[in-house]
Amino acid sequence: MNDKPELPGKNDLPIAYRAICLASGLSGDAKKIAAIIIGHFNIKTGQCDPGTERLMSKSGASKRTVVNATNELHRLGLVVKVRHGGNGFRSRYQPKWDAFNEIVKAFQEEEIGDEIVQNAAPTKCKSVHLDSANPCTLTKSRNSIKELTDSDGASGRGEPLSSPRPVRPVSADRVQGLLRDSLRKAHRPKPQLPSVVAAQEAARHRLEDAIAALSETMRGVIDERMTAEIQQEAIVAEVKRQGGGIAVVVERVSQMRKPDG
């Protein structure tokens, strides 16, 4: 890493937070430590050297967990970690803004691809007309492979009728066994799906924990600019995808102007 720090662009900070949430193959500990490191990055001077004790205090993780997480971020090329002689031989960190942008860009391109597949036109239906009968429609072109002959001589394209299967006798023991199985299934309790209220409450707690893990400066900005609208939007995003709420909050508050004092 060069001695001169790499400063972020206008939207690099919110993009970095979003990329951390979207990064595949990144452990939960590494995501939390990465968010804390980015929160400590001074966008004016480029200084970013929070000590291990600081990272432990902000994340609630052990020293070994912090060291493993920072090494993981360095290995994946998201945050470059360099030891230097000052400040008690603490490490200096350089977030790789281009790498974060690539993660978000790849995710957006994947979303566009999924949307194209979903919006693709279905197989065109082909009409089948039988003699002396109303026209009908086949939803799949492969359904019209074999010839169909009706009892009155009408013909068309369709699947031939199969001959009925012979009915086999069922023993009394078999009938009693089926009855016992049906009774057991009827009394078996059905799993209860989580309610919408419970899901939103869990999402709100996760969002509060994610905000608490940010730097004191970033928390101050969020406390100053957070609105009920942003909070509700973030909770909805968190319900849809874990980690989506904090990305919404950071992006929205970063785009707002500081209120007049």
CA distance readout (Å), 32 to 18, 47, 174? 12, 19, 58
Rounded to two decimals, the pTM is: 0.45
Proportion of the chain above pLDDT 90, given as a percent:
34
Running DSSP on this structure, what letter comes out for residue 8? -
**Euclidean distance between CA atoms 29 and 85, whole angstroms:** 27
Running DSSP on this structure, what letter comes out for residue 145? S
**Euclidean distance between CA atoms 227 and 231, whole angstroms:** 6
pLDDT tens, position by position, 179-213: 777 766 665 665 555 678 888 888 888 988 888 88
pLDDT at 149: 46
| Angle (nearest 5°) at CA 181 between 178 and 182 | 85
pLDDT at 220: 83
Helix axes 244-255, 228-240, angle to 10 degrees: 150
pLDDT at 90: 77
If you search the block for the tokens 């391109």, which residue do you land on? Answer: 109
pLDDT tens, position by position, 131-158: 544 555 545 444 444 444 444 444 455 5
pLDDT tens, position by position, 4-33: 889 999 899 999 999 999 998 899 999 999
**Euclidean distance between CA atoms 214 and 40, whole angstroms:** 9
CA distance readout (Å), 9 to 33, 131, 174, 227, 256? 21, 71, 73, 25, 16
* Bridge partner list, 82: 92
Bigger pLDDT: 81 vs 261: 81
Q: Evaluate whether 79 touches 70 at the Cβ level (below 8 Å).
A: yes
* Max avg pLDDT among 88-92, 130-134, 230-234: 230-234
Q: Are strands 126-128 and 91-95 parallel, antiparallel or unpaired?
A: unpaired
Number of H helices, E strands in the chain: 11, 6
Q: Is 251 helix (H, G, I), strand (E, B) or coil?
A: helix
Say if residue 230 is exposed, middle or buried (CB neighbours under 10 Å; 0-12, 13-18, 19+): middle
Tokens of 176: 């009693």
**Euclidean distance between CA atoms 214 and 36, whole angstroms:** 5
